[in-house]
Amino acid sequence: MLVVLEWTLKCGGGGGPALISLPAASFFAGNLAGSFLLTTLADTHLGRRKMLVMSLANMSVAVVITAFSPNVWVNAALRFVCRFGRSMAGTSAMVLSTELVGKWWRNTVSFAGFVFFSVGFMSLPALAYMFREASWRTMYM
């Protein structure tokens, strides 16, 4: 909502529903494009470890730059770039972690990765509540 007000996407500044939903749509489009394009690189040329490092670096840089977006178009493009890289981070991390443990621990390690991801995702509303007085840019960082 703060982004809508900051960039006047609704009230007199043009935009409308399509422009308001552009960052979210580009986020999911980046995930789709990254999933199609990066999966073969991880399996063939680069390997999972290099792909994981590249994905994490891509996400880190894109998120920091996104916090300084001057308009909705730049924000949407950076969210696409961030999710493009993120599409391989989870898969690469899970496969690498299950390869490190023995056969008996693979299910537990795989399950733990999903549990920690879910707990982290569910903690976001609490973090947003704690930073409710801060700007969306601060929360993004």
- For 68, the domain range is 2-88
Shared-domain flag, residues 67 and 25 = yes
Shared-domain flag, residues 69 and 127 = no
Shared-domain flag, residues 83 and 110 = no
Kindly report the pTM of this predicted structure: 0.75
Q: What is the domain count for the chain?
A: 2
Shared-domain flag, residues 59 and 120 = no
Question: Does the structure show a pLDDT above 70 at 11?
Answer: no
Q: Are 55 and 125 in contact (CB under 8 A)?
A: no
pLDDT digits (tens, 9 = 90+) for 46-69: 888 888 899 899 999 998 998 888
The helix-helix angle for 48-66 and 22-43 (nearest 10°) equals 160
Question: Tokens standing for 55?
Answer: 């994905």
